[in-house]
Structure 1
Amino acid sequence: MPSPPAKAALPPPVLYVTCMAIAMILSQVVPLPLPSNSWTQACGFAAIIIGQGLSFWAMLRFRRQHTTASNFNAPDELLQDGPFAVSRNPINLGDTLAYVGIAGLLADIWPWLLLPILLYLMNWLVIRPDERQLNELFGETYRQYCRRVRRWL
């Protein structure tokens, strides 16, 4: 099996938007509808709000510590508190929750079928290269952090 790229291959939003766009096209071409009601709609909106709230909280932590949130730049500091105490990737987790919320609102199976592919691509093209970079930059401190905090949840 080939190793992941040395640096993040794509910005995470590109992967999320691409998968959702493909799902929406497939939903139009070959609709596979799922039940939709006020409960599923409310859950969809809640997942979007919670997910984006988590992402914004993590972005705020980067900003307050004056370090980069970009997958293409080296961070100056390893954040371990706030949302980073729960997930090593709170922005990606938040974006995944938003994706799930949109999938619920679309009421079609295609976004759900593409979700495992999206998560695989995120792990392979974004998270693993980030982890390699953080390990090189922060060494044992990062390895201890990894033992305490899970990659996603």
Structure 2
Amino acid sequence: MIRDIIGYILGLVIFIIAIPFVMYLASGSPNLVQINPVQWILFILMTVSGIGLSIWSIVYMKRVGEGNPFDAFNHEVAPRTSSLMTDGPYGICRNPMLLGVFIFHAGVLIALLSLGAFIIFIIEVIIMNIQVKKEEQRLKRDFESEYVNYTKNTNRFLPKL
């Protein structure tokens, strides 16, 4: 239970607070009053949908996969899932939690409209791609052909059309 809570707190601090704050700082700490109404609307819509998708994925992971999402570069920070999840949010893409985070951070990027924030976003996407590829190796070991079949039907981040 304690490891679950640590995983959730780390995820909250890193993805919901720290990265957007670093994006804000990299933008030169702009006056948020100067953001135009269209930017605000897009930011709010992307924040609600992105964080909503991430929360749905976390809850689904806990209930169905009986695990916690925080696994950093093959270091189990919180208990890993015991079953492969292929439906619910995981029927959309293999990493719906990260897709939600990326949607939220893209909303932050739209609100800030700065090269600094864009660079932070790109660095995050690169780092998370590396993390996900390492996690995929573990999932192949843990779930074998079931995971390989799942990868044939779902994309890493973007929904299949």
TM-score exceeds 0.5:
yes
Residues 67 and 15 from structure 1, CA distance in 2 versus in 1: closer, same or farther, beyond 3 angstroms?
same
**Greater RCO, CA 8 A, separation 6+:** 1
Given candidates 133, 136, 156, the residue that maps to 1:151 is 156
Which residue is equivalent to 1:39? 38
Distance 1:57 1:103, change over 3 A: same
1:77 aligns with 2:83: yes
Distance 2:105 2:126 in 1: 15
The equivalent residue for 1:137 is 142
Q: Does residue 23 in structure 1 map to residue 26 in structure 2?
A: no
How big is the shift at 1:92?
0.6
Query: Does the CA-based 8 Å contact 2:66-2:83 persist in structure 1?
Result: yes
**Other-structure match for 2:97:** 91
Work out which of the residue numbers 110, 114, 120 in structure 2 matches 1:108.
114
TM-score, L = length of structure 2: 0.75
Give the letter aligned to residue 27 of structure 2.
S
Q: Secondary structure at the match of 2:28?
A: helix
Look up the SS of the partner of 2:103 in the other structure. helix
Matched with 2:67 is 68
1:69-103 Cα deviation digits (max 9, x unpaired): 23224320000001101110000110111111122
Alignment identity in percent? Answer: 22
Please give the alpha-carbon distance, in whole angstroms, between the structure 2 residues aligned to 1:48 and 1:15: 12
Cα distance in 2, alignment partners of residues 43 and 115 from structure 1: 17
Shift of residue 12, structure 1, vs aligned partner: 6.0
Hey, what's the Cα distance between the residues in 1 that align with 2:26 and 2:54? 28
1:48 maps to 2:47: yes
**Scaled by the length of structure 1, what TM-score is found?**
0.79
Deviation at 1:16, TM superposition (A): 7.0
> Hey, what's the Cα distance between the residues in 1 that align with 2:85 and 2:157?
15
CA distance in 2, matches of 1:23, 1:89: 22
